[in-house]
Amino acid sequence: MTGMPPALELRGITKRFGSLVANDGVDLDVRVGEVHALLGENGAGKTTVMRIAYGLTQADAGQVLVEGRPLALRSPRDAIGAGIGMVTQHFALVGPMTVAENLALGRATSLRLDLDSARRRAVEAAERFEMRLNPDARIDDLSVGQRQRVEILKALSRDCRVLILDEPTAVLVPSEVDALFETLRSLIAGGLSVVFISHKLAEVRAISDRVSVMRRGRLVATVDGSSDERALASMMVGRPSFGVARGDTVAETAGEPVLRIHGLQASGTQGLPALNNLTLDVRGGEIVGVAGVSGNGQTELVDVLCGMRQPTGGTLHLGEQELTGANPTRMMAAGIGRIPEDRHASLVGDLSVAHNLVLEHLDDFRRGGQIDERRVREHAWELIERFDIRARAEDQVASLSGGNIQKVLLARVLSRDPRVVVVSQPTRGLDVGATEYVRRQLLERRQAGAAILLVSEDLDELMALCDRLVVLYEGRIVGAMSVADADVNELSMLMAGRGDAA
């Protein structure tokens, strides 16, 4: 590849949205036959610059070149014609249609779709790029990983030579990540170039040849793909990173069981069983992680533990106090703090930070039947400082970033020193700095003796934070182990329902 022009090159890309500079003179080159990772916190500008490369957004200044030739980009059609493809987190597939029909969309030359021809081209494309896909399968019947392969195949079948993948592993289980990486390595060997946008540093190191780091709209460094994870994280946030490494967190002396769940059963949507005879203890001073593919009972488990859903069987105790079927108010009064996966639904966006911080215990701030606004503001300023919330007490929560919204939620829950913390997907959608902060808060609560149940689809997060792991599949615990004994391949099989225990 020596002496060849870059497969894709960006020169001086600048983009402004009002007073916000999203991209500030970005220079980036992607070599032929490499995986080039693009890292950065939320709002760093990485997605914007790739949208420009794909023609979804117009740059205010700068130039895009493909194989050394300047490219005029007015729409994705121009990018596709130049050999650039892009797969985003939100797939652009038509669910009721087949794989073959989806691959043919946008390529038909008449109002009538030749289904036989579309199917033949789909089979040829799948064979050419060594992707096992049934051309007659409906998209709605495919797994997330299979749908992603359809998106990739759709791009490749249009003679794509540069493939942009935006957070491609965000919704995949480990076995699907492995399959994706195997596919990418095969395509790279054939000369494809890949831009890999991700916040998972371990995966970036596993697949990338080079890594470019963006911060506040600027490209601050391009380094070798094998660079140390903490060094990469530090470049992203602009300060030394104290990320949690596996093995740093194991509790040496966890206490007695604080949260005791026995034979728990619950129904999900349309009355169908969601939890099936689930038994689990969580001790004081430990974090127990719940792993599993979304939709296997995690939401129902968290709802029951927080009083948002009535169990249909089993018992729930906090210490010696039975809380089976208790409502949310009684659960909180007993010492259970809840940090649900939908942070926006747990806060009122139109209300101020100050009022959201007292929303669940307003009676503590009443005087003579009315809310004591001065005490509310003082309480807010105390928590804003303590939890490093980048906002004012009077700011509407809806105006805050995702990381600061999560800090408001953490402050409201953790400031009351709950004995048990039930937390679900605590860092989903957060950048590296906010993720690091949230994880440290959970570790500090564990150190203070709280019993923490952590539900997450991010195995890296579970392995980094937890002392023990259980795997949930179809509402049952199908595996349990200490983090020290955990094997990622075994976990992946259990999560997919293919382990011995399942």
Task: Report DSSP letters for 17-65, one per residue.
Answer: ETTEEEEEEEEEEE-TT-EEEEEE-TTSSHHHHHHHHTTSS--SEEEEE
Look-up: residue for tokens 């001073």? 285
By C-alpha distance, which of 338, 311, 334, 337 is closest to 324?
Answer: 311
Question: Spelled out in words, what is the top-level CATH class assigned to the domain 8-237?
Answer: alpha beta
3-state secondary structure of 8: strand
Buried b (16+ CB within 10 A) or exposed e, 307-346: bebebebbebbbbeeebeebeeeebbebbbbbbbbebeeb
User: Which pLDDT score is estimated for 502?
Assistant: 45
- The confidence score (pLDDT) of residue 368 equals 82
Q: Which helix (H) or strand (E) holds 84?
A: strand 84-87
Rounded-to-integer distance, Cα 480 and Cα 295, Å = 19
| Per-residue model confidence (pLDDT) at position 251 | 47
Residue 20's φ and ψ, nearest 5 degrees, are -85, 125
- pLDDT for the residue numbered 248: 43
459 alpha carbon, distance to own chain's centre: 11
At 94-114, the pLDDT tens digits run: 888 888 888 887 665 555 667
Structure tokens belonging to residue 370: 């009315």
Q: Which fold has domain 246-335+418-502?
A: Rossmann fold (3.40.50)
What is the Cα–Cα distance from 493 to 502, expressed in whole angstroms? 9
pLDDT value, residue 316: 96
Q: Is the overall model pTM greater than 0.85, yes or no?
A: no
pLDDT reported for residue 51: 92
Contact 65, 53 (CB under 8 A): no
pLDDT of the chain, 502 residues: tens digit per residue: 556 899 999 999 999 988 778 899 999 999 999 999 998 876 678 889 999 999 999 999 999 999 999 999 999 999 999 999 998 767 778 888 888 888 887 665 555 667 788 888 888 888 777 777 888 888 888 877 788 888 888 888 888 899 999 888 766 767 778 888 888 898 898 889 999 988 777 788 889 999 999 888 899 999 998 888 778 877 876 655 444 433 444 445 567 899 999 999 999 866 778 899 999 999 999 999 999 877 789 989 999 999 999 999 999 999 999 999 999 999 999 999 999 888 888 899 899 999 999 988 888 888 888 889 999 999 999 999 999 898 999 999 988 888 889 999 999 999 999 999 999 999 887 777 788 889 999 999 999 999 999 999 888 889 889 999 999 998 999 999 999 888 877 887 888 776 654 4
Residue type, 267: S
Q: Which residue has the tokens 């906090």?
A: 318
Pairing mode, strands 210-215 and 218-224:
antiparallel
CATH 3.40.50.300 in the chain is located at 8-237, 246-335+418-502
Encode 422-433: b = buried (16+ Cβ within 10 Å), e = exposed. bbbbbbbebbbb
Helix then strand count (H, E) for the chain reads 16, 22
CA distances from 309 to 267, 301, 304, 328, 389 (A): 9, 9, 5, 9, 31
